[in-house]
Amino acid sequence: MDKLAIVVPCYNEEEVLKIASKALREVLADLIQKGKIAEDSCILFVNDGSRDRTWELIEEEHEAYPVQVHGVKLAGNVGHQFALTAGLLTAMEMSDVTISIDADLQDDVAVIEEMIDKFHAGNDIVYGVRKERKTDTFFKRTTAQGFYKLMDMMGVKTVYNHADFRLMSRRAVEEFSKYKETNLFLRGMMPLIGYQTEKVYYDRKERVAGESKYPLKKMLALAFNGISSFSVKPISLILGMGLFIIFAAGLAAVYAFVSYFTGHVVPGWTSMILSIWFLGGLQLLAIGLVGQYIGKIYIEVKQRPRYNIEKVV
């Protein structure tokens, strides 16, 4: 029977910790009783340098439920993506399959069973996808959707409306562990792993208690990181712009010469206009070209795996 580890990153979550622990323990008990997961399946809380009583609560839970509840304490606050990675890599050592979920129970724990079923049906990654964003504020909804569109335009493959509520098999986490990059954007990395994947749909709920640990500033940082860690398209845009300006400079030159020969201009205007257009275009073109090399270096230094062999016969 497969052992499940539910990974929960927690930053200042003292208000929700016990509630989350209880809800997740119930899910585990139910799945164990149905014979879908191993009896020693567990919850792994990752304390991301909380400044409140989160860690004490995790320890209390572990004492009360030594088999079901475990905890990892990070030495300081490193942010959601790193905390989640720490949890996944720790869970990889002690389980066959992991599910990552936020501590605030916004993601519906009721679909965990469906995730496990899809895992048993041969899927290595099962994405939790939000059906609608009814409970999010208008602002959060539009910014988030704009973000997915932008990512798409920039050529970054992501699963629409999927955050970090996700099942991963042990081998998927092992493959993920080969990605050594420090600029983490997990939901962009998952599609790179390959394997057969599936989605489950759920309604995103409101936080059970406490408030969001993702203020606008962190959201923008995540968005920028997502694009800059996966795409060198912005550099290509500069190159394209350079080419376009050079082309436009040709047109400007025709216009400048026509004006010059028809005598409508003050002295010095023609040479000035020509220099501005051509030098401007040339500079953009040069920056874009240099950027292409920097983009290549950037991709190389990541040392991402180039492929993932699933089977050999």
* Interface residues toward ligand UDP, by CB under 6 A: 9-11, 13, 48, 77, 79-80, 83, 102-104, 106, 212-214
# chain residues binding Mg ion, by CB under 5 A: 3
The CB-of-42 to ligand UDP minimum distance in angstroms stands at 17
Kind plus residue range of the DSSP H or E element containing 117: helix 112-120
Residue placing its CB nearer to ligand UDP in the complex, 127 or 277: 127
Query: Residues near 18 by Cβ (< 8 Å), separated by ≥ 6?
Result: 57, 61
164 touches Mg ion by CB under 5 A: no
104 touches Mg ion by CB under 5 A: yes
From ligand UDP, Mg ion, none, which one binds at residue 36 (CB under 5 to 8 Å depending on kind)? none
Residue placing its CB nearer to Mg ion in the complex, 14 or 102: 102
From ligand UDP, Mg ion, none, which one binds at residue 15 (CB under 5 to 8 Å depending on kind)? none
114 touches Mg ion by CB under 5 A: no
The CB-of-52 to ligand UDP minimum distance in angstroms stands at 11
Supply the angle between the helices 80-94 and 186-193 in degrees, to the nearest 10. Answer: 40
The CB-of-160 to ligand UDP minimum distance in angstroms stands at 16
**Residue bearing tokens 């290509």:** 236
Paired residues of 97 in beta bridges? 4, 169
Residue placing its CB nearer to Mg ion in the complex, 102 or 114: 102
Residue placing its CB nearer to ligand UDP in the complex, 33 or 212: 212
DSSP, residue by residue, 238-278: HHHHHHHHHHHHHHHHHHHHHHHHTT-S-TTHHHHHHHHHH
The CB-of-173 to Mg ion minimum distance in angstroms stands at 22
106 touches Mg ion by CB under 5 A: yes
Cα 230 to Cα 157: distance, rounded to the nearest angstrom: 9
From Mg ion, ligand UDP, none, which one binds at residue 79 (CB under 5 to 8 Å depending on kind)? ligand UDP
Residue placing its CB nearer to ligand UDP in the complex, 214 or 260: 214
Are the C-beta atoms of 204 and 107 separated by less than 8 Å? yes
Distance (Å) of CA 36 to CA 7, 91, 113, 219? 18, 18, 8, 36
From ligand UDP, Mg ion, none, which one binds at residue 128 (CB under 5 to 8 Å depending on kind)? none
**Residue bearing tokens 């795409």:** 231
Locate 156 and state its tokens: 């970054």
Q: Of 182, 195, 6, 152, nearest to 81 (Cα)?
A: 182
96 touches Mg ion by CB under 5 A: no
Residue placing its CB nearer to ligand UDP in the complex, 11 or 185: 11
Paired residues of 202 in beta bridges? 130
Residue placing its CB nearer to Mg ion in the complex, 201 or 298: 201
Binding stretches for Mg ion (CB under 5 A):
102, 104, 106
